[in-house]
Amino acid sequence: MVLNTQDKETAEAIACGIGEELRHRRDAEGVSRAKFVKRLPSGIGDRTLLAYEHGVRQLTVVRLIELSEGLKVGAPIVLGQGLQRAQVTLQHIPLRVDLCQLLETTNARIRPLHQWAKNRMNDSENGVVEVLPPGVRELAASVGFPHHDMASHLARFIPVS
C-alpha cells in the first residue's frame, strides 16, 4: 500500500507528529524556543519554529536535518518518531516502545505482550526498545493479531523523550 501524500489529513497528521516530536525533544532539553533558534545556522525565528512544532508549517528535509542536529539527534529518529506519533506507515518503520508504559496497561489485547516486555526490559537500561518491522510481524503472529493492528498497538507506547 502506497501512502497517499495528496491526502490533506495525512499530510497534516505527519506535520503534527514530526512537530510534536521536535517539541518534546526540545522540552526534554529544557531549552526555550528563543534559545534553540539562536543555535541554528539558518537564523529562523521562534515563530517559524512554533509553526513547525505545531504542524502548521511543513518542514523541508534540509530544515528537518538542521533542527534534528540542533537537538543532537539524527533526523531519521525524529522522522520515525514523528510518523509513529502520527500513526502513519507503522508497518514499515522501526517502532520505539516504552516497555514500562506497556506493562502498566490493563488492556486485555495487550496483556499477552507483558511477558515479552518483561524479558526485553533486561536488554534496555531505560525501558525503551526499538522493534523492527519483522519483530512486529513475529509478535503479531505469536498472539494472533494482524500485523497492522500490532504495529498500531505498539506505537501507542511511544517514549516521552
Is pTM beyond 0.85? Reply is no
pLDDT of residue 151: 93
Amino acid in the structure at residue 108: A
Main-chain dihedrals φ then ψ at residue 114, nearest 5 degrees: -60, -45
pLDDT of residue 161: 64
**Mean pLDDT for the stretch of residues 113-133:** 91
The residues with which 95 forms a beta bridge, in sequence order, are 131
pLDDT of residue 122: 87
> How sure is the predictor about 2, in pLDDT bands with cuts at 50, 70 and 90?
low
**Mean pLDDT for the stretch of residues 13-17:** 93
Contact (Cβ atoms closer than 8 angstroms) between residue 146 and residue 140: yes
pLDDT of residue 113: 92
> How sure is the predictor about 36, in pLDDT bands with cuts at 50, 70 and 90?
very high
**Closest C-alpha among 47, 14, 28, 44 to residue 128:** 28
pLDDT of residue 4: 64
Average pLDDT of the chain, as a whole number: 91
Proportion of the chain above pLDDT 90, given as a percent: 75
**Mean pLDDT for the stretch of residues 120-140:** 92
Q: Is the pLDDT of residue 89 over 70?
A: yes
> How sure is the predictor about 101, in pLDDT bands with cuts at 50, 70 and 90?
very high
pLDDT of residue 118: 94
pLDDT of residue 1: 52
Counting beta carbons within 10 angstroms of the beta carbon of residue 143, is it exposed (0 to 12), middle (13 to 18) or buried (19 or more)? middle
**Mean pLDDT for the stretch of residues 102-113:** 88
The residues with which 130 forms a beta bridge, in sequence order, are 96
